Chains A and B, each alone.
Chain A
């Protein structure tokens, strides 16, 4: 079959052809970018925090009428209260282990700072987040120690919330260790925190631990975490609790009465005991919503475009009844008529996707300059091109079949 008659007939429908091609181009551009955004959001949501998230939950509570923690006596009193809570929680039958901690990954409440390799260095530093925890940190959170040692009970200090003293030992993530000591010998090395002058020794390296914040501002240090062996004392406290396997619900229910028994002068509300699964869901709610919305929009767009192609082609078929009849009467087979309309659609869609690719890349570049986006991989665009061509063929099939069924005798009748 030659293209000539198709091109000649398309020239008669310039406006319609341009509109379909434009629609295909716009759909391709929007759908490609939307699916790319969906993929990015899914990647973000699925990245592991480094914790063993099952059977883990967090308790946040506040004491009423507790000391302010601004003087040494107040800090000591607060620490005693915290130790009482810890002892009570660790004694619960369904609890495997408990760690007092200032925050958890995905909790969006963090204490951030910087570390450097030289004392009083205010120029070159690596950003990091601080987790203050005791000797049960690794077992409770399910972190993997890959070098050095864990904290012992003797390492653990306690300090007031606003006391910014530096620790003498820390455990860092592999992300920090690799960046600061590329030779892989971080254990035993000395670093300095927040541009200070006190030497801090790295005693262990853990494989992975995400920072608490999920916003884009932490993108360049999302895995730079540091464990400091200290309990923070303030008029509130957080405890991460690992329940015994399968006993999560029972352990979560047991916590509130146990803490009230230790000291009734505190506030524990519905939000105070949260499973890690719930924290994760809360943290990524927006991303999930965005992905679902994008998905729905893509689906509707594709349906609208397909319906548009069906509608317009149906009209053309209706308009050309006589011509089709003539062609059939002159010896064209059914399959020739079918192929004619399919090829016609392929031509239009081909032009559409070519413009669409340019639009998709342009849209991606515009999004990159205005929002947090990366360059769209070519694979997405190519898949989109093939999908749009296939969509065009699928949409044109029904009207084209109807055209091929036009009997040759139509040629002799007036419409």
Chain B
């Protein structure tokens, strides 16, 4: 029966080629546009550390003075050195890491290679176990290296390829500005997106090429970058004592009970600092988990959300358009359907036949939409925005596209098919 319906559907579609093309094209455009934008949204709002992200939290404190104070304001996104160090040493979480970004001049020992600058991350040792950072060669540094301001460095695979042609470079020396560092580890492939642990250096930027202990970076006065927020001005030079927030701090808390205990600890810490006179504002702390943090930081650009809504509005218009055309088409064939009814076909059979026809149109539209979505994503990748290269269709989005296409067109076919099989056979036969 299905084959027969399919044959009928194809015949009916052939009878009016322009109209069929219009319906298929409308669905294809709608699906293509919505899938392109949905894929971009999906990629941008993805979880950078699946399975781990719910145990990672970003504590926030408010160490600022009373200038411009409003009780409803959020605390700053970053920590000052003193608070960062206090929380780090308290070791109240399963893991904790304090860090900042920077830029270091790399002076290759190899002849024929010019010096160049590269992004670096100055961090404490827990960075590697906390964020599940894979190591290709060697090892990461330890808390003892942090305390000893060790001149050790972990580099990415990309930098290792560039400087050492991909060979195991652990044990070699690397000249970064005025300091000579011993390479102790080389990272495997690691591209957390978004660049969640420090959004100041670009939400979707690549991870840094060089990782070295925070204490060492301060010892050598390496250039730091990212955002810095200072208050009660006129503090000179020393970042360690300045009233500025400029460090990212993350903690790992393996259970909800630990998370609420840690939040309590943060509040106690803020109250204690207030009592000591260091904090002027009343205790105002936050403890967001990783995904909550990305949401709070509005990592997904507003324009991308807007485009997604626009695309779905577009799909809606395309569907309404297709429903209208299909309705007209089916009703036009009332006499033909009347004949089938008179010859004994049940309403259910007619309904099935018409649904097969709308399903074929939807499927063709879906395939067209998929091709258009691939083209759309290719266009997105050509754009210079920093997330452009991430826009790829993955398996789940491919499946979603297909379900969306067939589902949408079946939905679009339902009303016309139902209306059309309400024909009274006698009336249709008589009128001709």
Contacts and interface: CB of A to CB of B under 8 A. Distances in A.
A312 B324 contact: yes
B221 interface: yes
A65 B177 contact: yes
Contact of B234 (A65, A196, A269, A371): A196
A213 to B, nearest CB: 12
A19 B318 CA distance: 11
Interface residues of B, number: 58
B232 interface: yes
A61 to B, nearest CB: 11
B314 A308 contact: no
B221 A68 contact: yes
Interface stretch (A171-179, A243-251, A298-306): A298-306
B307 A30 contact: no
A194 to B, nearest CB: 5
Q: Which of B117, B314, B321 has the most CB of A within 10 A?
A: B321
Interface in B1-57: 19, 22, 26, 29, 33
Interface string A233-260: 0010000000000000000000000000
A414 B22 CA distance: 30
Contacts of B311: 297
A196 B233 contact: yes
A27 interface: yes
A300 B314 contact: yes
Contacts, number: 137
A308 B324 contact: yes
A371 B306 contact: yes
Contact of B117 (A22, A34, A196, A267): A267
B189 interface: no
B171 interface: no
B233 A195 contact: yes
A375 interface: no
A323 to B, nearest CB: 12
Interface stretch (B119-127, B146-154, B325-333, B401-409): B325-333
A304 B317 contact: yes
B306 to A, nearest CB: 6
Nearest to A23: B320
A211 B329 CA distance: 59
Contacts of A318: 332
Contact of B236 (A163, A285, A289, A305): A163
B310 A195 contact: no
Q: Is the interface on chain A under 10, 10 to 19, 20 to 34, or 35 or more residues?
A: 35 or more
A23 B233 contact: no
B307 A26 contact: no
A200 interface: no
Contacts of A64: 105, 107, 115, 177
A316 interface: yes
Nearest to B310: A297
B328 A62 contact: no
Nearest to B232: A195
A235 B178 contact: no
Contacts of B332: 315, 318-319
B307 A293 contact: yes
B317 A267 contact: no
A20 B115 CA distance: 66
A382 interface: no
Interface string B213-246: 0000000010100000010111111110000000
Interface in B316-371: 316-318, 320-321, 323-325, 327-329, 331-332
B129 interface: no
B22 A311 contact: yes
Contact of B235 (A19, A164, A293): A164
A191 B418 CA distance: 76
Contacts of B236: 162-164
B66 interface: yes
A22 B317 CA distance: 8
Contacts of A22: 320
A70 B303 contact: no
Nearest to A318: B332
Q: Which of A293, A305, A307 has the most CB of B within 10 A?
A: A293
A214 to B, nearest CB: 13
Interface in A358-402: 367, 370-372
A286 interface: yes
A414 B317 contact: no
Interface string A112-151: 0000000000110100000000000000000000000000
Given A15-B415, A285-B383, A304-B321, 11 more contacts: A29-B313, A30-B317, A65-B177, A163-B236, A164-B235, A267-B105, A267-B115, A289-B383, A297-B311, A307-B22, A315-B332
Q: Which 3 residue pairs across A and B have the least CB separation, nearest first? A: A122-B67, A19-B324, A315-B328
18 contacts: A26-B320, A30-B314, A62-B103, A62-B117, A65-B105, A123-B68, A164-B230, A286-B301, A290-B303, A293-B307, A297-B310, A300-B314, A304-B26, A304-B318, A307-B22, A311-B328, A312-B325, A312-B328
